[in-house]
């Protein structure tokens, strides 16, 4: 398998996450100190630095996140946020994180309950969420 090198200027695109930032910073410092390392990577000591491209990470789900997604996958209509939080005891912030990460969607809708119209937030699984629980 070929290894790709990605060139970036100081400041970069900000695409690294905090888990790899420490490694990237120490690599950056080592690259700056070593003229031979710069020339081996194709830089000509012009202040640029190089970082190997990382393969995409498989999304990690906690057992609780997996349970929510499996519950959502079982019903084509999804579930309301209140049902997940109040009846099943899931954390609202964890559900919001699943939506933020693209594993689920949240849509506000009105529904009738007991003769009254109420606003609810319906949570549905996405194709990304389905792929995450299948792997």
User: How many domains would you assign to the chain?
Assistant: 2
In a domain, 57, yes or no: no
In a domain, 58, yes or no: no
Q: Which domain holds residue 38?
A: 5-52
Q: What is the pLDDT of residues 16-45, one digit of tens each?
A: 444 444 545 555 565 555 555 445 555 555
**Measured between alpha carbons, how far is 65 from 93 in angstroms, rounded to an integer?**
11
Structure-model confidence comparison of residues 37 and 128, the more confident one:
128
Looking at the DSSP bridge assignments, the partners of residue 106 are 123
**Measured between alpha carbons, how far is 130 from 135 in angstroms, rounded to an integer?**
9
In this prediction the pTM is 0.57
Average pLDDT, the chain: 76
**Measured between alpha carbons, how far is 126 from 19 in angstroms, rounded to an integer?**
26
Residue 89 has pLDDT above 70, yes or no: yes
**Measured between alpha carbons, how far is 61 from 104 in angstroms, rounded to an integer?**
13
Which of 12, 22, 49, 16 minimizes the C-alpha distance to 34? Answer: 49
In a domain, 104, yes or no: yes
């Amino acid at each position: 398998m070929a290894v790709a090198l990605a060139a970036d200027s100081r400041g970069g695109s900000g695409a690294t996450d905090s888990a790899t930032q420490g490694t990237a910073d120490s690599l950056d410092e080592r690259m700056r100190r070593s003229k031979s390392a710069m020339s081996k990577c194709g830089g000509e000591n012009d202040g640029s630095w190089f970082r190997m491209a990382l393969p995409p990470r498989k999304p990690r789900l906690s057992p609780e996140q997996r349970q929510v997604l499996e519950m959502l996958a079982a019903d084509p209509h999804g579930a309301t946020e209140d049902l997940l939080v109040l009846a099943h005891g899931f954390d609202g912030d964890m559900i919001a994180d699943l939506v933020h990460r693209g594993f689920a969607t949240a849509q506000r809708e009105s529904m009738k309950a007991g003769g009254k119209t109420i606003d609810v937030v319906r949570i549905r699984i996405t194709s990304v969420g389905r792929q995450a629980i299948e792997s």
